[in-house]
Amino acid sequence: MSPSKMSLSSPDISKAEIAAAVRVLQSGRLSLGHELELFEKEMARYVGTKCAVAVSSGTAGLHCLVRALGIAEGDEVITSPFSFIASANCILFEKAKPIFVDIDPNTLCFDTEKIEEKITPRTRAILAVHILGIPCQMDRVQQIAKKHNLFVIEDACEAIGATWREKKVGSIGNAGVFAFYPNKQMTTGEGGVITTDDAGLAEICRSLRNQGRSTQDSYLFERLGYNYRLTDFQAAIGRVQLDRIDQMLEKRRRVADWYFEALNGVEGVVLPLRSGSGAESWFIFLIRLSEAYSSTDRDRLRQLLLQDGIETGAYFSPIHLQPFYQSEFGFKEGDFPVTEQAAERTMALPFHNQLSRDEVRYIAEKVMLHLEHVGEKVNG
Interface residues with ligand PLP (CB under 6 A) are: 57-59, 83-84, 86-87, 129, 155, 157-158, 179, 181, 192
Q: In this complex, which beta carbon is closest to ligand PLP, that of residue 54 or of residue 364? A: 54
Cα distances (Å, whole numbers) of residue 366 to 178, 246, 258, 374: 34, 31, 15, 12
HSE-CB at 107 with a 13 A cutoff on CA atoms is: 22
Q: In this complex, which beta carbon is closest to ligand PLP, that of residue 133 or of residue 268? A: 133
Cα distances (Å, whole numbers) of residue 299 to 333, 344, 346: 19, 9, 10
Whether residue 88 contacts residue 119, with contact meaning beta carbons closer than 8 Å, is answered with no
Query: Closest distance between ligand PLP and the C-beta of residue 364, in Å?
Result: 25
Q: In this complex, which beta carbon is closest to ligand PLP, that of residue 17 or of residue 155? A: 155
Q: In this complex, which beta carbon is closest to ligand PLP, that of residue 309 or of residue 313? A: 313
- CB atoms < 10 A from the CB of 361, how many? 15
Query: Closest distance between ligand PLP and the C-beta of residue 158, in Å?
Result: 4
Query: Closest distance between ligand PLP and the C-beta of residue 329, in Å?
Result: 19
Q: In this complex, which beta carbon is closest to ligand PLP, that of residue 61 or of residue 350? A: 61
Q: In this complex, which beta carbon is closest to ligand PLP, that of residue 128 or of residue 355? A: 128
Q: In this complex, which beta carbon is closest to ligand PLP, that of residue 87 or of residue 107? A: 87
Query: Closest distance between ligand PLP and the C-beta of residue 228, in Å?
Result: 10
Query: Closest distance between ligand PLP and the C-beta of residue 334, in Å?
Result: 24
User: CB within 8 A of 335, min separation 6: which ones?
Assistant: 81, 100, 320
Query: Closest distance between ligand PLP and the C-beta of residue 78, in Å?
Result: 15
Residue number of the CB atom closest to ligand PLP: 58
Q: In this complex, which beta carbon is closest to ligand PLP, that of residue 258 or of residue 336? A: 336
Spatial strand order in the sheet of 175-179: 51-55, 192-196, 175-179, 151-155, 123-129, 76-79, 97-100
Query: Closest distance between ligand PLP and the C-beta of residue 100, in Å?
Result: 14
**Distance between CA atoms of residues 313 and 82, nearest Å:** 15
User: CB within 8 A of 153, min separation 6: which ones?
Assistant: 62, 65, 66, 69, 125, 126, 127, 128, 173, 174, 175, 176, 177
Query: Closest distance between ligand PLP and the C-beta of residue 374, in Å?
Result: 28
User: CB within 8 A of 185, min separation 6: which ones?
Assistant: 133, 158, 160, 161, 245, 248, 249, 252, 281, 282, 283
Query: Closest distance between ligand PLP and the C-beta of residue 11, in Å?
Result: 13
Q: In this complex, which beta carbon is closest to ligand PLP, that of residue 83 or of residue 195? A: 83
